[in-house]
Structure 1
Amino acid sequence: MSSVPWPSDEAGRLAELQALHALDVLPEPSFTAIAALAAFACRAPIALVNLISATGQHFKGRCGTAAPGMDRRIAFCPHAICERSLLEVPDALADPRFRDDPLVSGEPYVRFYAGVPVLSHDHALGTVCVMDHRPRRLSDAQRQALATLANDAAGLLQLHHHAARTDQVLARLRRIDAVKNQFLRTVNHELRTPLASIRSSVQLVRDGDLDAAAQERFLEMIDRNSLRLEQLLDELLLMASLNAGSAAFTPARVNLAALARDAVHAVTAQGRTGQLAMAVHAPPAVMAWADPGRVRHALAHLVDNAVKFTPTGGAVTVTVTAGPAPAVEVADTGVGIEEHDLDHVFDDFYRGDGTEDHAIGGTGVGLALVKKIARMHGGDVRIDSRPGAGTRVRLTLAAAPRNAVPAT
């Protein structure tokens, strides 16, 4: 068996195969129909739509064989994609390139081969080919039929690719529409609830039938709900600015351990209410290159989520580690996250089933903001969770340069 040639555009050819996802499904009925037509038109017992990867030959469509494919180094098709035109071998035993090929010297004892490259964007991705057990030649009409079917196979690869992308876009649009509707419902509730409380409190104060202590309580309620509205609007504006790439970013050398301790301290009272064990494991200083305000915001969301989703008597543990990528890990023993929600928890305004099931408020921007803030810092955030087994979220940042100026 002679050495197998390699196309000069091999890198581009393989990149296009991958971009088209042409090898994802093998075989496919529509390509098997092309192979059957090739066998019928050429009066051949074996016909293939054969796509050639870096290491193998993959039968996208097949007729007369049950094999799924074969090694890249075997047989005729690798020669055909290099010649980029019809390759016809009337008698393989008489051709020094193929007479020792396993398909010729053994099963299925191929003596005749004809293949036309499947050309897409000027790359030969594979062939439409026919094989026979006896020496022969194609007629001009059969050669034309084979060329037409190869062209059809190329067009079908493109159509399948665009159809798959269209399905993905439609699914994405449906997902966006669902999230938008969920966001509108959530924000409507999050806005109306404090507004209703403010209006009723104002009305009671205006009526003037309250004693001084009661009036003070209602004024505090107005102040608390006003702050809640302000925080909600700030979150929405921050989300918009991060999405637009216009959010302020002033990194400096900061102590990540101190920021983590501050985040836990801010929710200590809330944790005590739920009788949670709150712990921070961190060295005195873990220096990172970060915008302290943004990181403080992200950590506040992570710790607050851990507290909200952990039932009474549970534990929330925050661990800070140093290294090339300093990190904060927030682990809880809470309700966990369903597997189907894990792929979406970082999406804008996404609220998983658990938030509704456990009547936990929020707008669905928290983890989305954490992800965007992490990426702003050249870091990342990862989440590991199982229903009933708690959640572990790890936020990583960039290490602080030695000569960086500390944040004030």
Structure 2
Amino acid sequence: MTSPTAARPTAERLARRRPSPAQRQVTRIRWRTTAVFALTTALCLTVLSVLALRVDTASRADALTTALRTEAAALSDVIAPNAFTSAESLASLDLSRLDTIPTDRTVTVVGVLTPEAILYASPTQSSLPADAELRRRLHEQQADPEVRDSFAPDATGRELHWATAPVLAFSPSGRSVVGIVLDGGPLPGAAQHAELRSRLIAISAALLVLAALAGHVIAGFATRPARRALQSLERFQIEASHELRTPLSRLRLMVDNAEEAATAVERSAALDRAKDEVDELASLTTALLMRARSAPDGATAVREPLRLDQLVAVAVEESPGAQDVAVDAVPVVIEGAPEVLTQAVRNLVENALRHGLPPVRVRVDEHGIEVTDAGPGVRWRDRRRVLRPGETAGGGTGSGLALVVWAARLHGGDVRLDEAPGGGLRVRLRLAGRPAGRG
């Protein structure tokens, strides 16, 4: 092979330079999936936060209800250690003892009243519910004496939670309600509830951001096969148009030269060159179509047991210039795709004949295929570059070695370029895994 000329852009770089409409559509699908994932997460977090706040409110309300009912009954026992016989006896009772009750109780408002008057109110009478509400509660207790709880505003309009316990009077004719004890207070833990709400908002926002990032990553993984397939297709389109343009132009020039030839000998020579160009174009077209029909992972390539040595011998024999190629092969049976390996061998041989110098030798063993020539070789810093699609170290199209690399990857192997013994280039197509057997 000759030394590389000025590097030209590869087909892959051309494909990546500007996203195609199909790639932009895949990107939009990814962002839409991310948005749907984020919105769904936001809805779920909102529902969970609302439920958490409601559960917190309900639990605090239940705790307050239990405390109010218990303390209302206890206050009733405090002010009435003995049974009353009438409302007048309750009114004559000294209720100042209620002021000695510890101040760490749950309730903040306490009231004692009879049908005729409010006997006690703490901290003030305006802290109690309105008169109509007090009469309603007294009427309920007279109809059915038991500890009750409910919500009602105080005289200032503040909504409080109340519990009412009856004060009973006993007489020979039976028992009767002569008054009620009323205690109440606001729902406790308002500051803690507000702190809980703030924490839920902060945590939900953080989880939403994490969910959006996770959704974006998941959508990226989900769309990666489609993106890779599109990139592969677009690379093939660019590569095919680039690689077919040069041989077609040369073929047209050769046909024009044949038409303009002055003698039959010149015309025959021009037609022979055109035929060789057609053969090269057919080989290139076969390689491109083979790559186009196969998935990037080779899923559509049919593998079967085959004699690698016989396949190489036939491929070399069918290659132009086969008389200048020596084959040294041992019988080896492997699992492989015959069409892919055949085209890879042809490309290696044609590449060595076009860019190298005789003798060209092909060796087959258990490790794969090795092709050497006596040409100038490829500088070590250019050996990776010439294996990429669209790159070349000479006047070719840059597709031959790229297809060999693809064939190697399809069979779990790789391609390595190094210096041949005695000078020249050695290309080793290594096939992974143990051979199926020996012939």
Q: What TM-score, normalized to structure 1?
A: 0.43
In terms of Rg, which structure is larger? Answer: 2
Report which structure shows greater RCO (CA 8 Å, sep ≥6). 2
Larger proportion of helix:
2
